[in-house]
Structure 1
Amino acid sequence: MQVLFICTGNSARSQISEGVLRSKAGNMVDVYSGGTFPAKQVNPFAIKVMAENGIDISKHYPKSLDQYLNKEFDIIITTCDRAKQSCPIFPGNAIRYHWNLDDPAEVENEEERLLAFRKTFNEISKRVDDLMEVIRHLNSNKGKSQQEKPFLVLNSDES
């Protein structure tokens, strides 16, 4: 199972999503993240909040989606509207979800920004729990035809 998280800078929301899913799914899933316009580094607040929750992303770095353009994914999740609008076409027949998460990095006050990152972590963690159910279901249906697979709805902000 291959999962890709996409946001604009690949410095906060998609990095947190990648780390949380990798932590919860272990070897069940290959997890990737990328940005439509990657930043220079992962946001230090993302690293801090993940560390507070026992997940180390200190060695992560922002990646461009360009390196994934020829790769097939089972699930692709955009984590912001800007990434959804500029998301490239990927090969294959991936299930797509859109999580319209506020950008915690846009909060001006440093103390409030840390709280915003914690809130974003909690929201992503809940959504990843839902995603884990989808992944388990898809893994249990491997080899079945598409018609035999029931449609699953994942907490999404599709508009």
Structure 2
Amino acid sequence: MSVPEILFLCTGNSCRSILAEAILNGLAHGRLHAVSAGSHPTGYVHPRSIALLQQEGFSTEGLSSKSWDDLVTTPDIVITVCASAAGETCPAYLGPAPRAHWGVEDPAKAVGTEAEIEAAFRKAYEILRLRIEALLALPIAELLAKDPAILRSELANIGRLGEHE
């Protein structure tokens, strides 16, 4: 089997899904590969996302805000990262891949002082990193091949990590 492809999907593809793409690719060491896309991409990556990723030692090369219509491969797993509890509509990916929802508040919509806005980006980053580290502990390729139902259940459980911190 080739390297499993994870699609992180949100509406604008400028913050959360970009953070997740870079974090997973930076931590997976080639065992998994991530891409990100949006149903209505903003067309730019939020500068605070880039700055935070660089501060944390992740590569930002090649990151871009793109539409799910521009994907060149069909993902093996789709993870939405919109915060649907905040009234934000998450896109529904129509491909055959197992799906999970990992809702994270949109730091691009944070208001307040500079410190409060930075804290919103930091919180999104920390929640995504926690969840991605849990994802990387799973035997993804094996579960995709042998037991997609268990994989979906595990992905749903991971999506609850960091919710009440």
**TM-score bracket for this pair, using the shorter chain length:** 0.7 to 0.9
- Which whole-Å deviations, capped at 9, do the CAs of 1:10-67 have from their partners, x for residues lacking one? 1000000000000011211221100111112100110111111001225411010111
Find the residue that maps to 1:51 and give its secondary structure.
helix
How many residues are treated as equivalent by the alignment?
149
Offset at 1:88? 3.1
Is the counterpart of residue 31 in structure 1 residue 27 in structure 2?
Answer: no
Is the counterpart of residue 153 in structure 1 residue 158 in structure 2?
Answer: no
For 2:94, the aligned partner's letter is: I
Distance 2:27 2:89 in 1: 24
User: What CA RMSD, in Å, does the superposition of the two structures yield over aligned residues?
Assistant: 2.2
Find the residue that maps to 2:29 and give its secondary structure.
helix
Is the counterpart of residue 127 in structure 1 residue 131 in structure 2?
Answer: yes
Distance 1:24 1:75 in 2: 17
Label 1:106 to 1:72 Cα distance change in 2 as closer, same or farther (>3 A).
same
* Contact kept? 1:78, 1:97, Cα under 8 Å: yes
Q: Which stretches in structure 2 are left out of the alignment for 5+ residues?
A: 161-165
* Contact kept? 2:143, 2:150, Cα under 8 Å: no
Matches within 5 A, 1:106-125: 106-109=109-112, 110-125=114-129
Q: Which stretches in structure 1 are left out of the alignment for 5+ residues?
A: none
Distance 2:107 2:53 in 1: 14
TM-score (norm 2): 0.80
Offset at 1:74? 1.5
Distance 2:159 2:37 in 1: 19
Percentage of identical aligned residues: 30
Find the residue that maps to 2:59 and give its secondary structure.
coil
Distance 2:144 2:131 in 1: 23
* Contact kept? 2:24, 2:33, Cα under 8 Å: no
Distance 1:37 1:132 in 2: 28
Regions of 4+ moved over 2 Å? 81-84, 138-144, 149-152
Label 1:73 to 1:115 Cα distance change in 2 as closer, same or farther (>3 A).
same
Find the residue that maps to 2:9 and give its secondary structure.
strand
TM-score (norm 1): 0.83
Question: Paired residue for 1:78?
Answer: 80
Alignment match of 1:96 (pick from 91, 94, 99): 99
